[in-house]
Amino acid sequence: MSSVMWFRRDLRLKDNPALLDAIASDPNVFALFVLDPVLWGQPGSVRTNYLIDSLSKLNTQLAGRLVIRSGSPSVIVPNFAREVSAGTVHIAADFGPYGQKRDNAVEGALTDFGVDLVRVGSAYAVAPGRVRKSDDTPYRVFTPFYKVWTTHGWRTPADSIPKNFVFQSAPTEQLPQPNLIPGLTLPPAGEEAAWKFWGEFKEKALAHYADDRNRPDLAGTSSLSHHLKYGEIHPRSVLAGLGDSDEVFRKEICWREFYADVLFNTPQSTHASLNEKFDVNMPWASGATAEEHVNAWKQGQTGFPFVDAGMRQLRAEGWIHNRVRMVVASFLIKDLHIPWQVGAPWFMQWLRDGDIASNTHGWQWTAGCGTDASPFYRVFNPITQGIKFDPHGDYIRRYVPELAHLSGAAAHEPWNTPDGYSHHYSRPVVDHKVEREVALANYAAAKENFANSGS
C-alpha cells in the first residue's frame, strides 16, 4: 500500500500537517499535483507562470519526485490512487466554493475505489467557519471577528518532515514551459523565497509597518500575499514569528482569514453584492463612453496619476500596493460608475496573489456593499490620496514615464505645471468633483428605490 499527498495551495514542506499525516499513514508517499483546466489559467497568464515556477521549486525539494497529471481531479486523483495502490489521499481542506465542490466530487469517486480522502489543516491559521458569534451565526464585521479569532488561537507550527525523507516516483507529465507576457516581471516563487522575503521583512520593515504600510513609494509591506496564496509559507508560521508589538501586522493576516470566512458563509458573494440593493438599483454607467472609461482604467490612461501608476504596476508586476488597490477600485466604481463585478475579474486576471476571497471582498469593501464596508459616501479622492501617501511623487515617476520629468509632488498634478503634458500624458477622463456628486446621487436614488420596492 501507499499514500498520496495531493498538493494544491500548500506548496511547501515545512509546517504542512497534511503531508505529515500522509507520511504517518504510510511511509510510501507519492506527491501529486493536478493541472486542473478549471483553475489552470490561460497559457502565459500571471498566475500560471508563477505556479509553474513554484511547482518547479517544489519538485526540486522533492528530488524530482513531484508527479504532474493534467485533467479533471475527480478522474485523475482516483485513477492515480488506484495506479499506485494508495489507501488514502491526503489534502489540506479547501473552503472556497469551487474547491469544496471539487473535493466532494473527488471524495465520492475515491470512495468508489475504497480509498479515503483525508482532510488535515487548511490554508488558514483558523479554518473558515470556526469563528462564530455566541448565537452561532457568522461575523460580517471585522473587529469583533478579530477579537474572537485571537481568543480562539491557532496551533504552533507543525514539525518538519523527517530529514532525507524519500518520496516514491511514478510516471509524470512535464511542467508546461513558462511563457511570460512581455513587460511583466514576477518575483521568485517557492518555499525558500517565501522564508527569505519573510525574514528580510521581519528584520528590516516589520518594526515600521504601522507607519509605512500605506506608502506605496516605500518597501513597507511584506510582499507575502502570493506566497500565502500558494501556501509556500503558512500564516501560522508567520504568526508564530510575531511579538506583542506586531498587532497591526497580525490584523492584516486576520483580514485574509476574515474574508475567507465571509466567502465560506456566503459563497454567492463571488458575484453578488452582500448588500443586494447594489446589484438591483444602482444606475451604473453603460454604452460607448463607459467602455472607453473602463479601457482607460485598465490601461492606466485615466489622466489621474495615482490611479494610472497603480494600474500600470499591476501589469508590470502582477501586484499593486493595498492603498492603491483601494484608490483604483474606488475610482472605477465611484468616479466612472462601473460595478465592482467588472473590476474584480480584471484584478483576478492580473494579480499574482489573486485570491477569490480577498479580492471579492476587497472590492466589495471599497464599493461600500460588502462587510463592515467603508460607507458609500466616503469617496476616495484620487489626487489627495496620492499626495498624502506618495508625498514625493516617487511612485508616480516609477510607473508613469510621461510624468518622470516632474519633480516632487508636482507629478501628482500635471495640470498645475506648465510642462505637465509635454510628454503626452493623458488628460483626466472625468472631473472628480462632479463624479463624486453623481455617485452620491446615484446611491441615494438606489437606497430610495430599494426602500420603495418593499424589499
Ligand X SMILES: Cc1cc2nc3c(=O)[nH]c(=O)nc-3n(C[C@H](O)[C@H](O)[C@H](O)COP(=O)(O)OP(=O)(O)OC[C@H]3O[C@@H](n4cnc5c(N)ncnc54)[C@H](O)[C@@H]3O)c2cc1C
- Based on its alpha-carbon atoms, the radius of gyration of the chain, rounded to whole angstroms, reads 23
Of 231, 362, 368, 382, which one interacts with ligand X (CB under 6 A)?
A: 362
Residue 347 in contact with ligand X, rule: CB under 6 A: yes
Residue 355 in contact with ligand X, rule: CB under 6 A: yes
Of 36, 212, 247, 252, which one interacts with ligand X (CB under 6 A)?
A: 252
CA-CA distance, 141 to 143, in Å (whole number)? Answer: 6
Of 224, 333, 336, 429, which one interacts with ligand X (CB under 6 A)?
A: 224
Residue pair 92/83 in contact (Cβ under 8 Å)? The answer is: no
State in angstroms the smallest separation of the CB of 377 from ligand X. 18
State in angstroms the smallest separation of the CB of 319 from ligand X. 7
Number of residues near ligand X (by CB under 6 A): 27
Stretch that binds ligand X, among 101-109, 220-228, 306-314, 424-432 (CB under 6 A): 220-228
172 to 211: interface string for ligand X, x by CB under 6 A: ----------------------------------------
> How far is CA 127 from each of CA 136, 200, 228, 357, 435, rounded to the nearest angstrom?
15, 28, 14, 13, 41
Identify which of residues 230 and 443 has a Cβ nearer to ligand X in the complex: 230
Buried b (16+ CB within 10 A) or exposed e, 112-135: eeebebbbbbbbbbbbbeebeeee
Stretch that binds ligand X, among 133-141, 291-299, 306-314, 354-362 (CB under 6 A): 354-362
Of 2, 223, 302, 442, which one interacts with ligand X (CB under 6 A)?
A: 223
Of 32, 115, 253, 439, which one interacts with ligand X (CB under 6 A)?
A: 253
Stretch that binds ligand X, among 11-19, 135-143, 219-227, 419-427 (CB under 6 A): 219-227
Residue 284 in contact with ligand X, rule: CB under 6 A: no
Stretch that binds ligand X, among 137-145, 183-191, 324-332, 379-387 (CB under 6 A): 324-332
Stretch that binds ligand X, among 183-191, 221-229, 406-414, 441-449 (CB under 6 A): 221-229
Residue 359 in contact with ligand X, rule: CB under 6 A: yes
C-alpha cell belonging to residue 43: 497559457
If one counts every other C-beta atom within 10 angstroms of the C-beta of residue 217, the result is: 18
Identify which of residues 41 and 71 has a Cβ nearer to ligand X in the complex: 41
Of 329, 336, 383, 439, which one interacts with ligand X (CB under 6 A)?
A: 329
Of 354, 368, 370, 414, which one interacts with ligand X (CB under 6 A)?
A: 354
Identify which of residues 31 and 254 has a Cβ nearer to ligand X in the complex: 254
Identify which of residues 80 and 230 has a Cβ nearer to ligand X in the complex: 230
Of 331, 363, 399, 425, which one interacts with ligand X (CB under 6 A)?
A: 363
Residue 228 in contact with ligand X, rule: CB under 6 A: yes
390 to 429: interface string for ligand X, x by CB under 6 A: ----------------------------------------
Identify which of residues 224 and 439 has a Cβ nearer to ligand X in the complex: 224
Identify which of residues 23 and 253 has a Cβ nearer to ligand X in the complex: 253
Stretch that binds ligand X, among 5-13, 47-55, 348-356, 377-385 (CB under 6 A): 348-356
Residue 225 in contact with ligand X, rule: CB under 6 A: yes
Of 54, 74, 222, 385, which one interacts with ligand X (CB under 6 A)?
A: 222
Residue 325 in contact with ligand X, rule: CB under 6 A: yes
